[in-house]
């Protein structure tokens, strides 16, 4: 679990680990199912060590992890603020696939169009899974919004595969020669 | 020739459609074989001009093939008289078009009951069926609205209800989400899903990947021919978390 995410969840109010987990579940819907509860506690322990969260123990309660109340420190607070203004964005890794097609064609190892077809089948299966999951969520829920992001990205990738297919089909029928 | 035990709802052998002749000959559909089992949702995808709409028109008897043979539920339909074919189109096939094709001057419920009335059903029975269908698609409260008073997504759902009026053996849809935004597309996808669960046989021609992804099977078409035929069921369920960076 990304450290900044947990810090940001604590910015609203000090919380127990299980409360953080519940809020993540709500925000992620079915995508949160893969989330390991242990990850939350491991990350919280790291943040505590780094001085970004402090632990408040409820008096008279046995010292169990689920009894700990976590709160942001000033350092933690600062890190959240910085994170909110960051503009990083996950990079799609398209170059690898692009180079795969070029290499397959150059060495006559495989038909690029067949590679594109296989890739499209895989993406369509993912789109199908994402769409099924989206339909199972209430329309206006947080999880539905996240799933819409997935389906839109997959559609964009599928459109690119169409462009690849067009281009490689054309090259097959009218070879441009070696370059 | 030995027939297979499981009868296809739709079966085509060497189905072709040509336009023009000589140098300007276009093979819009180039001698394709197709079997659609009952209850299957089949998506046909391909670039525009690949022949997928022509194929759909042939399958639904809207257009005559220039070659090949075609059966619907075991009945040969490519050789039928115009009159018999019209009856098949009316009673056994439900059509859904990109531009909805509703009658503007009829209300939603009147549009939906129209095919049943044309098939000679009693008006009361036709109305009852139409009301049930509107209820199924969640538009019971819009029954007396004119198409112009409905959103695009609602119009397409009414058009789908109309396609179901005569309990067709097969529903054929041509770019059903082509004019819809993402929200309305989801409504239509859900409707197709529920038809699929109810055992309706569906053939959908589309370039919308979202529709293709809900199908059991996907055929890719290029230059009038099938170049890929894939089952989409099964596969990689459970990997969704990885797609949003949650797998680590």
Residue A128 in this model has a pLDDT that exceeds 80: yes
Let me know if residue A178 belongs to a domain. no
Same domain, A123 and A75: no
Q: Which of A3, A29, A115, A131 to mutate to test the interface with B (most CBs of B within 10 A)?
A: A131
Let me know if residue A90 belongs to a domain. no
Same domain, A67 and A118: no
Residue B92 in this model has a pLDDT that exceeds 90: yes
Same domain, A49 and A111: no
Contact B210 A151 (CB under 8 A): yes
The shortest CB-CB distance from B214 to any of A28, A131, A148 is to A131
Question: Which of B39, B30, B25 shows the shortest CA–CA distance to B12?
Answer: B30
Same domain, A75 and A124: no
> How many independent structural domains does chain A possess?
2
Within 8 A of B186 by CB-CB distance, chain A residues are: 134-135, 139
- Predicted confidence (pLDDT) per residue in A18-40, tens digit: 899 989 988 888 888 777 778 88
pLDDT grade for B2, boundaries at 50, 70 and 90: very low
- Predicted confidence (pLDDT) per residue in A66-78, tens digit: 678 999 999 999 9
Least confident of A108-117, A169-178, B142-151: A169-178
Within 8 A of B237 by CB-CB distance, chain A residues are: 129
Distances from the Cα of A14 to the Cαs of A23, A55, A58, A63, B81, in angstroms? 13, 9, 12, 18, 78
Same domain, A69 and A99: no
Residue B75 in this model has a pLDDT that exceeds 90: yes
pLDDT grade for A9, boundaries at 50, 70 and 90: very high
Identify the pLDDT of residue B214: 87
Same domain, A80 and A116: no
Let me know if residue A151 belongs to a domain. yes
Same domain, A19 and A72: yes
Let me know if residue A165 belongs to a domain. yes
Between vectors from CA A120 to CA B57 and to CA B181, what angle results, nearest 5°?
Answer: 60
Taken in order of first residue, the domains within chain B and their CATH numbers are 8-232 (3.40.50.300)
Task: Tell me the range of A22-31, A134-143, B17-26, B57-66 where mean pLDDT is highest.
Answer: B57-66
- Of A32, A65, A85, which one is at a domain's C-terminal end? A85
Let me know if residue A67 belongs to a domain. yes
Residue found under tokens 């819409």: A148
Same domain, A48 and A29: yes
Let me know if residue A119 belongs to a domain. yes
Q: What is d(CA A146, CA A30) in angstroms, rounded to the nearest whole number?
A: 10
Contact B236 A122 (CB under 8 A): yes
Q: What is d(CA B211, CA B182) in angstroms, rounded to the nearest whole number?
A: 12
- Of A63, A85, A107, which one is at a domain's C-terminal end? A85
Same domain, A30 and A77: yes
β-sheet with A15-16: strand ranges across = A15-16, A68-72, A53-57
Same domain, A102 and A69: no
What contacts B70, CB < 8 A, 6 or more positions away? B10, B11, B12, B13, B15, B58, B59, B76, B77, B78
pLDDT grade for B226, boundaries at 50, 70 and 90: very high
Q: Where are the alpha helices (DSSP H) in B108-220?
A: 108-118, 123-136, 152-163, 182-197, 209-214
CATH number at residue A23: 1.10.10.10
pLDDT grade for B234, boundaries at 50, 70 and 90: low
Give the whole-number percent of chain B exceeding pLDDT 70.
94
Give the whole-number percent of chain A exceeding pLDDT 70.
92
Identify the pLDDT of residue B217: 92
Let me know if residue A179 belongs to a domain. no
Q: What is d(CA B140, CA B158) in angstroms, rounded to the nearest whole number?
A: 10
Within 8 A of B246 by CB-CB distance, chain A residues are: 28, 31-32, 34-35
What contacts A69, CB < 8 A, 6 or more positions away? A14, A15, A16, A55, A56, A57, A58
Same domain, A100 and A72: no
The shortest CB-CB distance from B241 to any of A31, A128, A169 is to A31
Residues A6/A52, Cβ–Cβ less than 8 Å: no
Distances from the Cα of B53 to the Cαs of A54, B20, B45, B57, in angstroms? 64, 18, 10, 6
Q: What is d(CA A45, CA A72) in angstroms, rounded to the nearest whole number?
A: 13
- Domain range enclosing A105: 95-173
Same domain, A16 and A43: yes
- Of A55, A85, A115, which one is at a domain's C-terminal end? A85
Q: What is d(CA A89, CA A92) in angstroms, rounded to the nearest whole number?
A: 9
């Amino acid at each position: 679990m990304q450290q900044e995410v947990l810090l940001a969840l604590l910015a609203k109010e000090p919380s127990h680990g299980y409360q953080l987990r519940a809020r993540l579940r709500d925000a992620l819907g079915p995508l949160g199912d893969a989330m390991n509860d242990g990850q939350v506690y491991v990350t919280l322990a790291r943040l505590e060590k780094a001085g970004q969260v402090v632990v408040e123990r409820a008096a008279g309660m046995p010292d169990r992890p689920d009894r700990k109340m976590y709160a942001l420190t000033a350092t933690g607070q600062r890190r959240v603020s910085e994170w909110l203004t960051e503009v990083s964005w996950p990079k799609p890794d398209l170059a690898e696939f692009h180079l795969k097609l070029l290499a397959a064609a150059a060495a006559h190892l495989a038909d690029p169009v067949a590679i594109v077809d296989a890739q499209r089948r895989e993406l369509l299966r993912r789109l199908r899974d994402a769409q099924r999951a989206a339909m199972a969520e209430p329309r206006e829920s947080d999880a539905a919004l996240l799933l819409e992001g997935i389906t839109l990205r997959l559609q964009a990738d599928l459109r690119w595969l169409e462009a690849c297919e067009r281009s490689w089909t054309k090259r097959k029928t009218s070879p441009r020669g070696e370059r | 020739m030995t027939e297979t035990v499981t009868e296809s709802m739709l079966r085509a052998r060497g189905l072709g459609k040509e336009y023009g002749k000589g140098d300007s000959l276009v093979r819009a559909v180039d001698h394709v074989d197709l079997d659609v089992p009952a209850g299957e949702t089949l998506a046909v995808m391909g670039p525009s001009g690949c022949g997928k709409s022509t194929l759909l028109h042939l399958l639904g008897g809207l257009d005559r093939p220039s070659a090949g043979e075609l059966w619907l539920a075991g009945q040969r339909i490519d050789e039928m008289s115009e009159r018999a074919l019209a009856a098949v189109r009316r009673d056994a096939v439900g059509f859904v078009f990109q531009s909805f094709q509703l009658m503007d001057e009829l209300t939603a419920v009147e549009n939906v009951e129209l095919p049943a009335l044309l098939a000679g059903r009693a008006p009361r029975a036709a109305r009852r069926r139409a009301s049930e269908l509107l209820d199924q698609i969640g538009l019971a409260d819009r029954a007396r609205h004119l198409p112009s008073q409905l959103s695009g997504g609602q119009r397409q759902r009414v058009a789908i209800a109309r396609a179901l009026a005569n309990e067709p053996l097969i529903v054929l849809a041509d770019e059903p989400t082509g004019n819809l935004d993402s929200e309305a597309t989801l409504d239509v996808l859900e409707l197709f899903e529920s038809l699929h669960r109810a055992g309706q046989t569906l053939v959908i021609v589309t370039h919308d990947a979202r529709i293709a992804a809900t199908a059991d099977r996907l055929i890719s078409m290029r230059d009038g021919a099938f170049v890929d035929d894939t089952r989409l069921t099964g596969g990689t369920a459970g990997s969704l978390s990885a797609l949003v960076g949650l797998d680590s």
